[in-house]
Amino acid sequence: MPTRFIQRAAALRPQDVSLSNANAIFVDSDDNQLKFTTGASGTTTVDVVTESQTQTLTNKTFTSPTVNSPVVNSGAAVAATGPEIDNVADVSARMVAGGATLAMVAATHSGRIIALDTLAGSVVTLPASSGGGAVYEFLVTVTATSNSHIIQVANATDEFRGFVVQDASEATAPNIFWAADNDDTITLNRTTTGLAAQGEYFRVVDAVSGVFFVTGYSQASGIEATPFSNAVS
């Protein structure tokens, strides 16, 4: 097959106008972009998107693209993953249903509010601690009527540090329960360690590898007891 050539020029020559049934194509010698004319007059040119050239794309819609090592305008490479970007930018899912059980993922659940939302109790398991600074929040949105609402670590080496303020009645001062060494589980048993009632709240920070720092507020009945225990093996 004979070699075919495409005209290279800074602009189209007057005679290289579009026809009613054909448009001109050429390589722009100023920027080395392959271009073609549009419309019958041929006065407007459009760049052809290439695989390897550096180009600025405007008004383009990408469907399920794969973007490798993107660089923002500052010149810095984007290190965040897709789920991490969604976690920060997507405000449509600030509340996450805990359901009966939930195995949490740092990239997905950090910065979210996990709803303890099951009548028969929600059991949520934190990701393994990395010390990366992830913050997790837990809010009882459905009062449990059986079993317990439980927040626990993922393995036998992670543990809690911190405290829970627990209020039994308006007539007495609230108790403050601190996590003991190796405590890895928070249990709201619907009575003494927490009512598992709407409004009870916990904030957990993964600030040191192997350790989650927790603060929380709950109610209780009967003889109040610590919600912390060492239950993960």
The token duo for 204 is 């957990």
Interval 158-200: pLDDT, tens: 999 999 999 987 667 899 999 999 999 999 999 999 999 999 9
> Could you tell me if 196 and 148 are in contact, meaning their C-beta atoms sit under 8 angstroms apart?
yes
pLDDT band at 61 (very low <50, low <70, confident <90, very high): confident
Give the span between the Cα atoms of 11 and 173, in whole angstroms: 84
Tell me the C-alpha distance between 32 and 8, whole Å.
Answer: 8
Q: Report the C-alpha gap between 12 and 25 in whole angstroms.
A: 9
* pTM (two decimals): 0.67
Residue 7 has pLDDT above 80, yes or no: no
Q: Please report the pLDDT score of residue 219 as a whole number.
A: 95
Query: In the structure encoding, which two tokens stand for residue 232, read together?
Result: 């993960």
Domain edges within the chain: 1-58, 87-229
In one letter, which amino acid is 9?
A
Mean pLDDT, residues 207-233: 96
CA distance 95 to 115: 7
pLDDT of residue 73: 66
Q: What is the mean pLDDT of residues 40-46?
A: 70
Phi and psi based region of residue 83 (left: phi greater than 0; alpha: psi -120 to 50; beta: remaining): alpha
